[in-house]
Structure formats: structure tokens, C-alpha cells
Amino acid sequence: MSSALLVIDMQNGFVHPEGSLPSLGMGMPGVESVIAENVKVIAAARAAGLPVIYTRSVFRPGMVDLPMRMEGFLPPNFDILERGSWDADVHSDLTPADGEAVIDKNRYDAFLNTPLEQVLRTLGVDKVLVTGTVTSICVESTTRSGYMRDFDMYVASDCVLGAPGQHEASLGIMGAAFATVLPWQEALAAVTGEPALSASGAAITA
């Protein structure tokens, strides 16, 4: 069996300073660092031969398929992550390579009403390393859902971001019951069976 990297919702609307949520004052701390760590883990996963799969939260014009409760924190008639828009695109530093799957969703759980499980099963994947945003919402919802489908879930703690307090609590909950939570180098080593590397490229030994 094999492993895959799942990059959740690293879209302009969430992580670019001109994106829809940051423009409302709803940006998240540490976003630059998390983007940089995602660049590294994506490159390392590709080098190791792991499939890299992306998700995007996207909504129809008029926000007719927006999840319940999201309207409560958005201004009236405010469009967010509209399908086909720059806001909905994956951040340019993390652009999917040719042939990499991009799964569009309109709910927090990336398995719900999408072909994600089918894609993973077809690839023979049993271990899934998760990165992205938002830790306590789409990342946790997807991680729980993957666990319930008997995937061995891993979360790269330095490649996810969310609101202070909620972010840390979510990592703790996932690590206690649904996933192995580690910095990306250790997590990638765990899912590939290869030794973790230090920043200098040297193997990390116990």
C-alpha cells in the first residue's frame, strides 16, 4: 500500500493577504510560515513519489451552496471562494503540478459528496498526510472523516493553521483520537518509511 499528501484549501481566499477572509480582518497568524512549510513538504512528497492531492472550497455564484452558519460571519451579499475566481485558486506558491488531482468541495469534510475516497482507493493509498487550513474546521473534519473510512491519517503540525486557541486544541484532539500529529519532516518519514531529514539534509537519528 502507499501514501499520499493531501493539501487542504490553501487558497487565496484563506491565505493571501488580498483574499476574501483576510480582507475582512479574518486572516490567521503565521500564514507566511505555513505557506513556506507547505512548499517544502509538497516538494519533498513529489521527490519521494507520493501523489499530491489538493482540495478547494468553492461555491456557486450567489453563494447558494454556502454551508449553514457561514453566512453568520460574512457581510450581506459578500461573495467568497466563488468557483472559477482568483479567490478560489490555490495560492501561487503551491500551484498543483500537471496531473495532480484537485478536489472541489462545498462542505468542510473533503470526503463528503466528492470523489476523494475513490481517488485514494484507486491509487492504493492507505496512509494520508494532511496539511492546510483551517485546522479546526476543514482539516479536522477531513481528518476525522478519513479515519472513519479506515485511512491511517497523519497531520503535519507545522503545515496547518487556524485561529489561536482553536488551532492548538484541534491538534490535540486529532492527535488523541484520529491521527498521528507530527512536524512534516517526521510525518513524511513515518508515511514513507524513510528517515526524517534535518534542515541541512542530514538524517535525523534517535
Q: How far apart are CA 51 and CA 104, in angstroms?
A: 17
**Residues annotated catalytic, as ranges:** 9, 105, 138
Is residue 89 a part of any domain in this protein?
Answer: yes
pLDDT band at residue 205 under the 50/70/90 scheme: very low
Domains in the chain, number = 1
Is residue 185 assigned to a domain?
yes
Residue 203 lies in a domain: no
Asked whether residue 49 is domain-assigned, the answer is yes
Among the ranges given (60-74, 77-91, 150-164), the one the predictor scored with the smallest mean pLDDT: 60-74
- The arrangement of strands across the sheet holding 180-182 comes to 102-105, 52-57, 2-8, 125-133, 152-161, 180-182
Selected residue with higher pLDDT from 10 and 70:
10
ω before 41 within 30° of 0 (cis)? Answer: no
pLDDT at 165 over 90: yes
132-148 confidence digits (pLDDT tens): 999 999 999 999 999 99
In a domain, 38, yes or no: yes
- The answer to whether residue 205 sits within a structural domain is no
Segment 40-63 shows an average pLDDT of 91
CATH number of the domain within which 22 lies: 3.40.50.850
DSSP bridge partners of 52: 5
User: Whole-angstrom Cα distance, residue 194 to residue 197?
Assistant: 9
- Does pLDDT of 68 surpass 70? no
Q: Is residue 13 part of a domain?
A: yes
Strands 2-8 and 52-57: parallel
- At 202 the pLDDT is 47
Give residue 30's domain range. Answer: 2-192
Instruction: State yes or no: pLDDT of 3 exceeds 70.
Output: yes
Determine, yes or no, domain membership for 119.
yes
201 pLDDT tier (thresholds 50, 70, 90) = very low
Amino acid at position 56, single letter? R
> Residue 77: CA atoms inside 13 Å, Cβ hemisphere, count?
0
9, 73, 129, 183 from 172: Cα distances, Å: 21, 26, 16, 14
